Structure 1
Amino acid sequence: MSPYRWDFISDNCADFGVKRICRVLGASRTGYYRHLATEQARIERQAEEKRTVSEIRAIHAEHQGAYGAPRVHAELRARGRRINRKRVTWLMRINHIVGRHLRKKKRTTIADRTAPPAPDLVMRDFTADTLNTRWCGDITYIAVGTTWLSPATVIDICSRKVVGWSIADHMRASLVTDAIEMAVAARGGRVHGVVFHTDRGAQYSSLCRGLPSARHPPQHGRVGSSYDNALAESFFQGLKRELLHGRRWTSKAQTRLELFRWLSYYNRRRRHSALGYLTPAEFEQHLITSRTLSLVA
């Protein structure tokens, strides 16, 4: 029964009586009185829904429109809100609140056919139980006016945290070594035995030749297979979707600043589905705390 019929009955019952109007409309008097009895609960529910939608809009805006229902739901739960994920999905759909979607990516790996083969020790298993045991890295291109900037990253597979990065307007091997040196420094030099997984790009192959004494030589996946470096590929897809989509960049300095801000946001505030919707920083803190407690026990 349409709620408008119940409103019509309420508006006209003083003149014609509930019984007569219900008979003409083919409505149930029992249903009408039940509608009256639950009116206050409906008003409260509608007010709560309005508050929830406002909070969803605020979270969505706070994260620059990038969050879809899963991350919005995780953020609400982190703020103490008890709400079903399906309800968040439904409220976002009916209120036209949409997260950013993936765009078709551009292939950036240029194979070094002269490089000696390196083993693939990861074999598409992008998991790790301990920090600083498996890292992965990649490079992408960002258009800035008529030229390009190239960010390189080093990601700890355990926590998905970007522990090192470098941004340059060239694609020489130093782009990669700078990112690795930052990662080693960020981890306090405690990286003995870490496996560093990359694609077969020329910059990473040069790293094998240029750093013969390195304790973290790259381990390569296959050219053209995004699955062999899926975690790093996924990271850059997220960056392009959430930061670059729909924006034109003309200043290298401004682009560097925006990239730095986003990387800091990614590590400290962006909730990650693979981490149970914790941020990389939160996940690392939980991991360190739990292991400290287990040692004390």
Structure 2
Amino acid sequence: MSIMVTGGAGYIGAHVVRLLQERGEDVVVVDDLSTGREDRVGDATLVELDVAGGDAQQLLEQVMREREVTGVVHFAARKQVGESVARPAWYFQQNVTGLANVVAAMEAVGADRLIFSSSAAVYGMPDVEIVTEDTDPRPINPYGETKLVGEWLIADAGRAWGLRAASLRYFNVAGAGWPDLGDPAVLNLVPMVLDRLAKGERPKVFGEDYPTTDGTCIRDYIHVLDLAHAHLAALDHLAGGDGGNLVLNVGTGQGASVKEVITEIGRVSGLDVTPDVEERRAGDPPRLVASADRIAEVLGWQTRNGLPEIIESAWEAWQAGPRRIG
């Protein structure tokens, strides 16, 4: 019996793979290595495959049968908002077709547990400060649209043939569970600040006139290791025979402003993090914080790490990498 992790060589996926391995699971990773790295999957079997490719469904079925896969954690997707705006058709091909191939292969082999990597991007710009799973999803970019369509596909498969699934809507993921598994991409706030510091440049703040305490945007930051544990909790919940289609926010219920995050990076690193303030970016809501009540109630899961632990682990991972500062 095995667990398949698509995109398991990436940032979040590698954390889930390591946790699964630590508890003795047999893991097979499927990844095209476009953003992931082979050295992140430990001794798990790695199948290099683009799940959105033309023959992906048949190849996935073959691997699932050979390895007796009973459950899938699906991370493999594209996730850059700006890129999705510029290449919407490609994003739908990658994210929706890729998921459809995975679900079709699962149906063919009888694997009926799926954990889907969704996103708070499905909510768009909600007019509430605390976002619950009942908040009306109104994505404002193709990336968020592909995640919402993915949730619809999963719900339809549940009704059609009994797929049991949990769609986890991530908020802002940061930090590292181990120093060798830091975020390799410079796409989110923490690595973007560290990248600029490594170049000898000031961090950037986009707008300081929002209706918040310090004028900068507030977001819900979750430690990547806490997020990884949420995936295992969801897998175990489904393995217990619970059916249906779960949709769960994965966040802390607490917000931190951009300036607070940058200040924390300065505290941990000892560096001058005085930012350059630029104009607002279009589409940034002033505050986006998750309600984590439902996931606590359904899975018994809650976060263990706050902003200090997130930044400390991110700094340790950065300093263990090739662009050590100082």
Please say whether Structure 1 and Structure 2 have the same fold, judged by a TM-score greater than 0.5.
no
* Structure of larger gyration radius: 1
Q: What is the TM-score when the length of structure 1 is the normalising length?
A: 0.32
Looking at secondary structure, tell me which structure has more strand per residue. Answer: 2
Looking at secondary structure, tell me which structure has more helix per residue. Answer: 1
Q: What is the TM-score when the length of structure 2 is the normalising length?
A: 0.29
Relative contact order, CA 8 A, sep 6+: which one is greater? Answer: 2
